[in-house]
Chains A and B, each alone.
Chain A
Amino acid sequence: MKVSFNKREPVYVQVVQHFKEQIATGNFEPGQEIPSRRELANQLKINPNTAQRSYKEMEEEGLIYTEGNSPSKITSDEKVIKAVREELISQAVDSFVTSIRKVNVPIDELIGLIKEKYTENANE
């Protein structure tokens, strides 16, 4: 697991975002065990207290769950996974729309461009 963090956003927020991306893309499968707080801190080179905070946050959002003393796992709740995916898509589209609106591109031209670029990049 390699994540590059920016320095201005709270690290725990960035860790949660990373987990959401992995869940949405299926890299982290439902019910998959996740590293302990210490392992995560060590893998991502972050403070163990921050790793702890990320897990607490994700637990509250229902992204991960813990049963008794066993390791925490990625949620199997399809509704949550679907919501995460939708959230990420809508975040990305929002930020795209905000920046493209400044350029004032006609919608048809824009859609054409998106189709072209999106398939082109995927083939690379």
Chain B
Amino acid sequence: MIEVKDLTKRFGRKKVLNGVSFTAEKGQITCIIGINGVGKTTILNGIMNLTPMNSGLILIDGKKVSKESYEKITFIPDAITMLPQMTIREAMQFMQDFYNSWNEERANELLGFFKLKQEERISNLSKGNTAKVNLLLGLALDVDYLLMDEPFSGIDIFSREQIADVFTSHLVEDRGVIITTHEINDIEHLIDKVVLLDNGVVLKEFNAEEMRASEGKSVIDVMREVYKG
């Protein structure tokens, strides 16, 4: 389980996170929803310890983030971080050199799944295919937790469907996933838990299926209530 407790973060005088708390379970897909600029990416950066927080606590399976944590959790940012002149194969090699948790077999399976050619240069790829390579590099790590920042933004519908397919496959199964998005439509049936964020606080945290069962409301219904009510 990933526990985020009372996280605060200021950039200069601007308060971005104002006491954010939530949990994300292993074997579940947790979706952080909020419009642009509410601090979604900052939370992920905070969990990965990439940005120092002003206060708060983050625990991964009960432990604070350390050097060893990076073999247990991975972060897939919204843009690829590999050098553009690298080929897909070279980027995969880079990851393999860097991480013990790299799973070459799964990486090759993902290449096939996304129909990517490993000799292609990253700079020559379409936006959708770049997003898929980015995802491949993260998913091929044998880690317990995956953080994905806006995996669906700015790519075509078929690539989106392909990426959504990954979530229902063994490539993700049994791992804990946190994804951020401002576009819930495509993935409403895929997620377990929703964390609604606004102005640096969690407005509501709920299980999507329980919400449908107990109140007959879709995720969008709840968002409408919370954001406009």
Contacts and interface: CB of A to CB of B under 8 A. Distances in A.
B189 interface: yes
Given A7-B219, A10-B212, A48 B173 contact: yes
Given A47-B29, A47-B190, A47-B192, A42 B165 contact: yes
A10 B209 contact: yes
A44 B192 CA distance: 16
A68 B168 CA distance: 25
| Chain B interface helix/strand/loop/mixed | loop
A41 interface: yes
Interface in A38-52: 38, 41-42, 45-50
B139 interface: no
Contacts of A49: 27-28, 192
Contacts, number: 55
A5 B190 CA distance: 12
A11 B209 contact: yes
Contacts of A8: 212, 216-218, 221
Which bracket fits the contact residues of A? Answer: 10 to 19
Most buried by B among A46, A47, A50: A47
Nearest to A43: B168
A47 B216 CA distance: 18
Contact of A47 (B189, B212, B217): B189
A19 interface: no
A7 B219 CA distance: 8
Given A7-B219, A46-B190, A47-B29, A38 B213 contact: no
Given A47-B29, A49-B28, A42 B212 contact: no
Interface of A: 5, 7-13, 38, 41-42, 45-50, 53
